[in-house]
Amino acid sequence: RSIRADGGEADSNINPELPGYSTNEKLCWPGTESDTINEEYPICIKQPSDEVPVFGVGGQIFALGYYQAANLTWVAQQRNWSPQWFLRIDRLLAFMQKRGNLSRFALNIGANDGKTVGPDPTFQVFNWLKFSGVAVEPDPIAFGKLLRNLYWERVQKVNTGMTPGQVPEFCEKYKVPAYPDIIKIDIDSFDCDLLEAFVRARQFKLIHTEINYEIPVPLMFARKWSPQIKFCMRPFAFYSCSFSYQVHMLSKYGYTLLQLWGYDATFIHESVKHIFPDHRYIDPVQYFYSTPKINSGIEGRTTGHLKHPKRK
């Protein structure tokens, strides 16, 4: 079993400004004599300001908890959605642009080819709205396609991976403004650790994420960054972070759920929340259990995200 480390001195290699980030290769403390614990499952460091219990084996770190704020009475109060309820990111931003000042700057972290996969929600932000921004993709093959799809000079293309600790330097290097309009993140790995580093460094109006829908509300799950992290696209549900984890984490920084459809969630900052009518803000539990694709996956009626050919 894995035990949360609630006591002991803080590790000097933990950066309190970046939860989930450690420069220490020895990620876990050994158990004490009072702990009934197997050496294979050590007690792990609890990151400062991280409220979700953290555990790990062999340098692979995870967070797992229960979202206490979830009102589960909403599970039985489902809604019948249509795809029209979920607005494309470019249309949301166009609506916002008519009602306030925008920086016209977008970030796409985990951009793949920048256009066709998904399809990418930020493509029309760059193409139709003609925003400036940065698109990041570490895979060299996908990056070659991205260069062709996002050919505009106003979009900086970056072929690199990134850790949470590198985010402040990244924002300075690529001149990310203090109040960007949108960040989209989809790396199928330590998504929430990287996203939290970004929301600490900058205040975004909108955040667009992919959720791990196979971890149902109210469970909170996240793959955490560690120097020994192993990336793989295998058919297991231990990737990215769950919907409950995202709602919980982003609420600490003033973000509210705006919409959820399929695997995609959009959050909005409280400073611009007034732009949209109140009826667009629905309880996250009701939203989750009213989404057809999510319910189909939970009930085993679809092939599901994990059966994707890339996950073999």
**Chain centre distance of CA 164:** 12
For the chain, which domains are there?
A: 85-216+242-311 (3.40.50.150)
pLDDT, one tens digit per residue, over 47-82 is 444 468 888 777 788 898 889 889 888 888 888 877
80: helix, coil or strand? coil
**Looking at residue 184, what is its pLDDT?**
98
Q: Could you tell me where the beta strands, DSSP code E, fall in the chain? A: 28-29, 43-44, 54-57, 60-66, 105-109, 132-136, 155-158, 182-185, 206-210, 219-224, 255-261, 264-269
pLDDT, one tens digit per residue, over 158-185 is 999 999 999 999 999 999 999 999 999 9
pLDDT, one tens digit per residue, over 37-55 is 344 444 444 444 446 888 8
Residue type, 59: G
**Please, is 305 exposed, middle or buried when counting C-beta atoms within 10 Å of its C-beta (0-12, 13-18, 19+)?**
buried
pLDDT, one tens digit per residue, over 255-299 is 999 999 888 999 999 999 999 999 999 999 999 988 877 766 656
